[in-house]
């Protein structure tokens, strides 16, 4: 892993409180990109995509990590790692560059920018008398788009978000903080860019792994750190406890965001899980907490159990109910992959919650593989809900079963010992009955090239307005790929587009190609 030297004597001179790692603020250096298309790094008006291989070997360094950009319109590909020009740092084993990704327009120049989580980065702090390295402290890098593409010749200097005296996230690095384990980003309803960073391994005082999150907003990149004992913007739900892992999952819409704490204990039920929901409204420079979610609350289906892992995964989309004239609500899906259904251990389940503009919630659906008309059935170790991705294909109109869709990963699904853990993916509507318009694909049934063991399909999911993206980083190497599917497709339907190592300008070597996709 790369060692980053943070000289306490030089910090105030180099940073001067700005939080910048370059000599120029992004807003000053950026060239205008007029397209306004989301996920468009070069401003040509065509959507681009990013495929991470965080376990890639780079220059002989195992699990250093690499990210591949596929420019839309057939304009080529770009591979980024920590030895790439324009990317800070240096390649080291175990960093896992690209373990988390988020895309947003950080400097409001019209070109999309890429945030890359590197949660296993080592940080070394030095002083005049000592030096100490903190393994897996983690950090986040933001590479800027321009007319020359991501991290191009005319792009602003990349930013880094890390802990340390005088550094943007403040505090101090520690072993296994895992800063950058989860990311979410976008633009609030007020047009303000934001980046959310999770550090689920953060220790607070003597409490081990309660976790922390950071809300970075505006082109000035103002940072607010918060955890379950934070009261600056209002009481954050819950209390700091060991192993809560606050920040292990994060999702957002322009009106709300949610932070998962899948290690949350409910009484004696350890790792039952929970989540906290916030508004982008700032109170004393901090986002306003709205409410907590956990299975010990009366309106929520099921009871919290040991190892449920509520909020291991989440997905959130803008929602406009019938009769509304604006899209000011959100739908939040919460995965509970460790949910036991009677005697079926780790079958998994998913909740869907409606979050109103006033900050209240109702549960609108409780989904399992035994829900009426949902394809398939529950089995032990399915881990239904291990990953989620959701889309609203028409956010400026009344939401319907056809426009708000949810993909649910089931990586433990299997139908024989020959194809153990082949996995699969459900797609269901987020409004109405889940089984009314659902679909299913698995290796050999819609997912090429055929059935195989340990593919763990459903581990990696991503949503774009035009496609559900399913990453296949595991299983036989010939199956490693990212496939795109119609959101309203049929069961067993073949992909509409495929990205594979060694094809279309993408490097042939891969370890976990498609582990993260945006």
Residue-level pLDDT at 255: 98
Token pair belonging to 50: 């990013």
Residue-level pLDDT at 415: 81
Pairing status of strand 481-485 against strand 467-472: antiparallel
Neighbour count for residue 32 (Cβ, 10 Å): 10
Contact status, residue 425 vs residue 467, Cβ threshold 8 Å = no
Rounded Cα distance between 141 and 124, Å, is 17
Token pair belonging to 510: 């891969």
pLDDT tier at 241 (50, 70, 90 boundaries)?
Answer: very high
Q: Which residues of 53-78 are buried (b: 16+ CB within 10 A; e: fewer)?
A: bbbbbbeebebbbbbbbbbbeeeeeb
pLDDT tier at 4 (50, 70, 90 boundaries)?
Answer: very low
Give the mean model confidence (pLDDT) for residues 185-190. Answer: 98
Contact status, residue 291 vs residue 300, Cβ threshold 8 Å = no
Pairing status of strand 439-443 against strand 446-447: parallel
Rounded Cα distance between 224 and 132, Å, is 26
DSSP character for 493? P
Residue-level pLDDT at 35: 72
Residue-level pLDDT at 16: 34
pLDDT tier at 127 (50, 70, 90 boundaries)?
Answer: confident
Helices (H) and strands (E) in the chain, counts: 2, 32
Residue-level pLDDT at 10: 30
Residue-level pLDDT at 31: 44
Rounded Cα distance between 209 and 301, Å, is 28
Task: For residue 46, give every residue at least 6 positions away whose Cβ sits within 8 Å of its Cβ, in sequence order, or none.
Answer: 35, 37, 40, 71, 72, 73, 75
Give the mean model confidence (pLDDT) for residues 242-261. Answer: 99
pLDDT in tens, 289-341: 999 999 999 999 999 999 999 999 999 999 999 999 999 999 999 999 999 99
Q: Output the DSSP codes for 351-414.
A: EEEEE-TTS-EEEEEEE-TTSTT-SS---TT--BTSSEEEEES-TTS---TTTEEEEEE-TT--
Token pair belonging to 13: 């001179």
Asked whether the predicted pLDDT for residue 349 surpasses 80, the reply is: yes
Task: For residue 358, give every residue at least 6 positions away whose Cβ sits within 8 Å of its Cβ, in sequence order, or none.
Answer: none
Residue-level pLDDT at 34: 77
Residue 31 exposure: Cα atoms within 13 Å on the Cβ side: 15
**Stated pTM of the model:** 0.93
pLDDT tier at 49 (50, 70, 90 boundaries)?
Answer: very high
pLDDT in tens, 356-390: 999 999 999 999 999 999 999 999 999 999 999 99
Asked whether the predicted pLDDT for residue 123 surpasses 50, the reply is: yes
Percent of all residues in the chain with a pLDDT value above 90, rounded to a whole number: 90
pLDDT tier at 2 (50, 70, 90 boundaries)?
Answer: very low
Q: Which of 28-32, 379-383, 492-496 has the lowest mean pLDDT?
A: 28-32
pLDDT in tens, 281-298: 999 999 999 999 999 999
Neighbour count for residue 162 (Cβ, 10 Å): 25
pLDDT in tens, 128-164: 788 999 999 999 999 999 999 999 889 999 999 999 9
Rounded Cα distance between 130 and 445, Å, is 59
66 cis-preceded (ω within 30 degrees of 0): no
Percent of all residues in the chain with a pLDDT value above 70, rounded to a whole number: 94
Asked whether the predicted pLDDT for residue 14 surpasses 50, the reply is: no
Comparing 1 with 107, the larger pLDDT belongs to 107
Asked whether the predicted pLDDT for residue 15 surpasses 80, the reply is: no
Residue-level pLDDT at 244: 98
As to burial, measured by CB atoms within 10 angstroms (0-12 exposed, 13-18 middle, 19+ buried), residue 134 is buried
Token pair belonging to 380: 């032990």
In 3D space, the residue among 456, 465, 324, 329 whose CA is nearest the CA of residue 390 turns out to be: 465
Q: Which of 14-28, 314-328, 381-395, 457-471 has the lowest mean pLDDT?
A: 14-28
What is the distance of C-alpha 89 from the center of its chain? 23
SS (H, E, C) 255-268: CEEEEEECCCCECC
> Where in the chain are the domains?
1-125+135-156
């Amino acid at each position: 892993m790369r060692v980053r030297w943070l000289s306490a004597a030089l910090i105030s001179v180099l940073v001067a409180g700005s939080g910048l790692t370059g000599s120029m603020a992004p807003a000053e250096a950026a060239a205008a990109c007029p397209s306004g298309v989301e996920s468009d790094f070069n401003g040509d008006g065509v959507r681009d995509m990013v495929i991470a291989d965080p376990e890639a070997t780079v220059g002989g360094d195992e699990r250093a990590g690499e990210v591949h950009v596929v420019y839309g319109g057939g304009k080529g590909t770009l591979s980024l790692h920590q030895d790439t020009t324009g990317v800070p740092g240096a390649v080291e084993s175990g960093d896992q560059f690209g373990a988390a990704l988020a895309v947003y327009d950080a400097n409001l120049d019209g070109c999309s920018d890429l945030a890359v989580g590197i949660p296993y980065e080592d940080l070394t702090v030095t002083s005049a008398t000592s030096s100490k390295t903190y393994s897996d402290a983690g950090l986040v890098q933001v590479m800027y788009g321009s007319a020359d593409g991501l991290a191009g010749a005319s792009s602003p200097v990349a930013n880094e978000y890390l802990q340390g005296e005088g550094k943007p996230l403040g505090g101090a690095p520690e072993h296994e903080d895992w800063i950058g384990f989860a990311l979410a980003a976008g633009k609030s309803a007020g047009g303000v860019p934001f980046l959310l960073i999770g550090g689920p391994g953060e220790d607070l005082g003597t409490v081990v792994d309660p976790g922390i999150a950071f809300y970075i907003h505006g082109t000035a990149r103002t940072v607010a750190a918060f955890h379950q004992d934070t009261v600056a913007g209002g009481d954050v739900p819950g209390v700091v406890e060991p192993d809560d892992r606050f920040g292990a999952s994060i999702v957002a819409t322009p009106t709300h965001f949610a932070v998962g704490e899948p290690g949350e204990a409910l009484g004696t039920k350890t790792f039952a899980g929970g989540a906290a929901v916030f508004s982008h409204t700032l109170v004393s420079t901090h986002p306003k907490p709205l409410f907590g979610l956990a299975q010990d609350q009366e309106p929520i289906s099921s009871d919290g159990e040991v190892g449920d892992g509520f909020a291991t995964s989440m997905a959130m989309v803008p929602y406009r109910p019938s009769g509304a004239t604006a899209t000011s609500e959100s739908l939040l899906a919460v995965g509970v992959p460790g949910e036991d259904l009677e005697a079926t251990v780790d079958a998994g389940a998913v909740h869907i919650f409606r979050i109103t503009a006033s900050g209240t919630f109702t549960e609108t659906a409780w989904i399992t593989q035994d829900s009426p008309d949902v394809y398939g059935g529950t089995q032990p170790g399915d881990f239904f809900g291990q990953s989620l991705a959701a889309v609203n294909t028409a956010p400026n109109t009344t939401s319907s079963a056809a426009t708000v869709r949810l993909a649910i990963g089931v990586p433990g699904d299997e139908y024989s010992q020959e194809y153990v853990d082949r996995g699969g993916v459900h797609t269901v509507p987020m409004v109405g009955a889940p089984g009314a318009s659902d679909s299913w694909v698995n290796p050999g049934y819609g997912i090429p090239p055929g059935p195989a063991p340990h593919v763990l399909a459903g581990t990696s999911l991503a949503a774009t307005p035009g496609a559900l993206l399913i990453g296949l980083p595991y299983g036989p190497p010939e199956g490693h790929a990212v496939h795109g599917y119609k959101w309203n497709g049929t069961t067993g339907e073949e992909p509409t587009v495929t990205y594979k190592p060694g094809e279309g300008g993408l490097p042939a070597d891969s370890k976990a190609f498609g582990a993260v996709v945006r």
